[in-house]
Structure 1
Amino acid sequence: MKILYGVQGTGNGHISRARAMTEALAAHDVEVTWLFSGRERHELFDMAPFGDFLHRRGLTFISRAGRIDYGRTLIHNNLWRFLRDVRTLPLAGFDAVVTDFEPITAWAGRRAGLPVIGIGHQYALGDTAPTVAGHWLARQVMNRFAPVTRPLGLHWYPYADNVLPPILHLPDRQAGRSEDIVVYLPFEEQPRITGLLQQFPQYRFRQYASGLAAMQVANVLLCPTSTNNFKRDLAQCAGVICNSGFELISECLQWRKPVLTRPLQGQIEQLSNARALDQLGYATVTNTLCPVTLGQWLEHRPAPPMVEFPDVAACLARWLADGAGHEMCEMQRWLWLEGAGTGIGQFPRDKVA
């Protein structure tokens, strides 16, 4: 089985899922070529697990001060280069394309008539999952960005028959516990976030973002992006403040960390995630990060939900290695009912609209 696996590199969540999948696929007789797009190659980090991966510019969005800037997004993306990359992507010898919302591999596979399997959170959003309407351009992106012939969605609840639990890439939890709060708000203006955190000197924060220089600023430790360091601090922290990306909040749920989340304004996925989190009671959602909101959450952090997700990556890797031919209904049922240990009853149906 030879697979071309495309990963949207705009956010770290897609890449984190890819790390879990490359480890799971290594246990099977599958040859995988990875392609990443949506971020400049030099901005990708800790990429050794993917070997000699392919890279294309792809498509991405531009944000400013915690909100999607649609004008700059349209100007920044080069549609002609994207179309050229779709036409020229070599697909000879591949049996299937798998895409985690990566558009070049999705459209190229469709053009070549190959099976295109979508494995990602975006493929769970739709009529049955909590989804906001959003900006017209954002709706077009969600519907047409990376079309597939077989969508397999990932979510925190089995909203539909094609929805599986999250794919997680978490190391064994290290011993020890700190009272630090991990802060990861990559779409916000970092100096403003640092200033906000400094208004609460009785708490210690570890603020992560790309481009930050490692230094202590009063009660805030600034941390450049690092997969290993971030996962270590996440395992030991007392809580997390973040945007509403699917993967990080899934990791917080698995490790039972209280979460304060602010969705990236104008981004359908994050706004929909925030709605689902609010309905499920899995996190504290706010549209405004201000001293009042932050202070209330810090003082009255709610207990995290008792949720445990199974090893989805291992199941999917086995399914792909077997040719991805059989239906997913039995695997989906097992993952939600048996794989999670305590069964479907732990997911609060009464809180789902």
Structure 2
Amino acid sequence: MKISIIIPTYNEEEFLPDLLKSIKRQDFKDLEVIIADANSTDKTVEIAKSYMCKVVPGGLPAVGRNNGAKVAKGEILLFLDADSVLTNNYITSTIEEFELHNLGIAITQIVPLEKGFINEISHEIANYLTKQISHIKPHGAGCYGMITYKSLHEKVNGFDESLDFGEDTDYIERIAKISRFKVLENPRLLISTRRLEEEGLKEITLKYAKSTAKQLVGQKVTLEELGYSFGHGSSKKNRILYSLCGEGLGHAIRSGVVIEYLINEGYDLIVFASDRAYDYLNSKFDNIYYIGGFNTVYENNSVRNRKTFVYNMKDVPSDLKNNMTKMFNLAHKFKPDVIVSDFEFYSNLLSHILRIPLISIDNMHVLTEAKYSTPNKYAKDRLFSESVVHAFIQNAKKTLIYSYFFPPLKNTENTRYVYPILRDKIYQLKPTDGDYILVYQTSTSNNELIELLKKNPQQNFIVYGFHVDKKEDNVLFRSFSEDLLYKDFKDAKCVITNGGFSFITEALQLGKPILSIPVKKQFEQILNAIYLDKLGYGEHHSKINQAILDNFIEKIPVYKKNISEKYVKPKNNNETLNILKETIEEVINN
């Protein structure tokens, strides 16, 4: 037999039929097709058998290719990816040029299956760069199609199965040392642009540049470094699609802790976030994807519901299409076992469309899942906020609620409280009582507060949330910096903030009394402040004046004592993270 075509697969029922049809259409017939399957859970194996392919066990690409080569009867091996398609006369053209130049190993060039200027020009650039780099050092990738002799494959002991990325380039380099390598000029291989569509041209280009630069100097590259998760392997990792609200940094900061924990526990993750949450997480992790999100309009420290509605509605049609397309395509490839949402709207829709179980973990659901009473003056705000929470998340399999107050729950079977997630650095701080008050705002519209602070020259204030670095009299403004905020937090004698959940819980962990002026009409913040006052950890006011400020400062010792005696301070995040893991496993296994 002349040639054996070896194709590693994992859940390729969507793409494999087109490749097998294209092989069947070839004029060249002296061949066999071997599918090395990594325990696919879809119809991949069934499709392969229907085309009379040999099927052998697979794994990561190196494992699958080696297993295919072991049973191959052809003198020539052609390695292809499952999402490629052969152009007319591809096999004949490839063999003729391969033998004409007396080569030992070669790759072909690629063209996109999906037409369009960006697709076509990006693939031509990829071809050009691959040819140029090959003059410096033999280089290539499995997606280009690799052809070699079985005798040479055996002489170098096949692909290095210890490599989870770059095994193809390593293979090419080792065979090229004992033979000749070339990028073939004539044959063209059609390849899917699914990764380009999922990750974007910029992301793909950066990853390609990073991997190529390392490989050229002889360094190995791993999947983890590049943020790839191909899902091959005989022992399947559970996969989580994690999505979070992007407004403010509270969701992002605690999600950073959760994401790091889940990765360390061996889960595969892809993460969706908008706005500042995306920027924060993308600087720390791979596999973070941007989506458009909802934003609240604030004026004079108050939510403007009508303007918020108008502002978000103008973007909803495009966000809905773009977000759902991106999330659907990535989820279709990634095949998550569960979706975990920290109050993110589009992941809820995706859960219903794909019928993937959803776990909700946030602080917002105390509004809808708990029994509590509040003054009648907040009834309208409460109704509106509860409606938003109901609209964002429906029919979660399990609901975990971060909280520092614990009113009775309506349903304890599927809902439970967990302690707030805090940054590890907060647990490590050793707080002292300095001579300044820390002021933290998530809205830049509370100008009345700043004017009041300036009227108290006997007090020093450090203010975050206005996104500037400047000093005005006794008020020092800082733009956000985690390291500076830790220091300022640690040594503050108390804090003034709105009703943001994350900052309040970090302040309580550090034993800092809190003067809370929640954003008007934002009922979640109002409820946080009500319970803060009720528990004796600080004060709740709808606005601030000199008398309120003086009274609060006078009572700082009382509030510090209450926090010290009544507030439960976990030593770390372990309990909450373990509960989350148990919940994930329960949902997946049921």
What TM-score does the superposition give when structure 1 sets the normalisation length? 0.83
Matched ranges for 1:304-319 at <5 A? 304=560, 305-306=563-564, 307-310=567-570, 313-319=573-579
Partner of 2:421: 167
- 1:262 matched to 2:524? The reply is no
Residues 211 and 99 (structure 1), Cα distance of their counterparts in 2 relative to 1, 3 Å cut: same
Residue type of the partner of 1:51? D
CA contact (8 A) 1:40 1:57 kept: no
Q: CA deviation at 1:317?
A: 3.9
Partner of 2:337: 95
- Whole-angstrom CA distance in 2 between matches of 1:4 and 1:261: 35
Partner of 2:531: 276
- Whole-angstrom CA distance in 1 between matches of 2:402 and 2:246: 17
Partner of 1:7: 244
CA contact (8 A) 1:181 1:237 kept: yes
CA contact (8 A) 2:252 2:280 kept: no
Q: 2:371 is matched with which residue: 128, 132, 135? A: 128
- 1:197 matched to 2:440? The reply is no
Q: CA deviation at 1:315?
A: 3.8
Q: 1:141 is matched with which residue: 361, 383, 388? A: 388
- Whole-angstrom CA distance in 2 between matches of 1:276 and 1:325: 33
Residue type of the partner of 1:154? Y
Residues 46 and 219 (structure 1), Cα distance of their counterparts in 2 relative to 1, 3 Å cut: farther
The farther-off stretch of 253-262 and 19-28 is 19-28
Relative to its length, the structure with more helix (as a share) is 2
Partner of 2:64: none
Offset from partner CA, 1:134-158 (integer Å, 9 cap, x none): 3354332122123333211111133
Matched ranges for 1:1-353 at <5 A? 1-37=238-274, 39=275, 44-45=279-280, 47-77=282-312, 78-85=315-322, 87-88=324-325, 89-90=327-328, 91-92=331-332, 93-126=335-368, 127-129=370-372, 133-135=379-381, 136-147=383-394, 148-159=396-407, 160=409, 161=412, 162-171=416-425, 172-174=428-430, 177-189=433-445, 191-212=447-468, 214-301=469-556, 302-304=558-560, 305-306=563-564, 307-310=567-570, 313-319=573-579, 321=581, 324-326=584-586
Q: CA deviation at 1:69?
A: 0.6
- Whole-angstrom CA distance in 1 between matches of 2:373 and 2:344: 23
Residues 178 and 124 (structure 1), Cα distance of their counterparts in 2 relative to 1, 3 Å cut: same
- Whole-angstrom CA distance in 1 between matches of 2:348 and 2:500: 22
Q: CA deviation at 1:40?
A: 6.0
Aligned length: 324
- Whole-angstrom CA distance in 1 between matches of 2:310 and 2:264: 43
CA contact (8 A) 1:82 1:104 kept: no
The farther-off stretch of 247-256 and 124-133 is 124-133
Residue type of the partner of 1:157? F
Structure 1, unaligned stretches of length 5 or more? Answer: 328-353
Partner of 1:338: none
Partner of 1:339: none
Q: CA deviation at 1:188?
A: 4.6
Which structure has more RCO (C-alpha within 8 Å, separation ≥ 6)? 1
Residues 128 and 311 (structure 1), Cα distance of their counterparts in 2 relative to 1, 3 Å cut: farther
CA contact (8 A) 1:181 1:204 kept: yes
Residues 308 and 10 (structure 1), Cα distance of their counterparts in 2 relative to 1, 3 Å cut: same
Identity of aligned residues (%): 23
Instruction: Decide which structure has the larger Cα Rg and report it.
Output: 2
CA contact (8 A) 1:99 1:118 kept: yes
- Whole-angstrom CA distance in 1 between matches of 2:301 and 2:444: 5
Residue type of the partner of 1:3? I
- Whole-angstrom CA distance in 2 between matches of 1:272 and 1:158: 12
Structure 2, unaligned stretches of length 5 or more? Answer: 1-237
CA contact (8 A) 1:158 1:164 kept: no
Residue type of the partner of 2:490? A
Residue type of the partner of 1:181? I
